[in-house]
Amino acid sequence: MREDVSMICARRGQGKWQTLVFVLVLVGFGYGVYEYNQLQIRHQHAEHRSQKYQSQQESLSAQLQVVYEHRSRLEKSLQKERNEHKKTKEEYEQKQINQNSKKQKTDMIL
Query: How far is Cα 82 from Cα 59, in angstroms, rounded to an integer?
Result: 34
State yes or no: pLDDT of 13 exceeds 90. Answer: no
What average pLDDT does the segment 42-63 reach?
Answer: 98
State yes or no: pLDDT of 101 exceeds 90. Answer: no
pLDDT at 36: 98
pLDDT digits (tens, 9 = 90+) for 69-85: 999 999 999 999 999 99
Q: How far is CA 34 from CA 25, 42, 95, in A?
A: 14, 12, 90
Q: How far is CA 106 from CA 52, 92, 99, 102, in A?
A: 80, 21, 10, 6
What average pLDDT does the segment 33-52 reach?
Answer: 98
Domain residue spans of the chain: 1-110
pLDDT at 108: 77
Query: How far is Cα 71 from Cα 63, in angstroms, rounded to an integer?
Result: 12
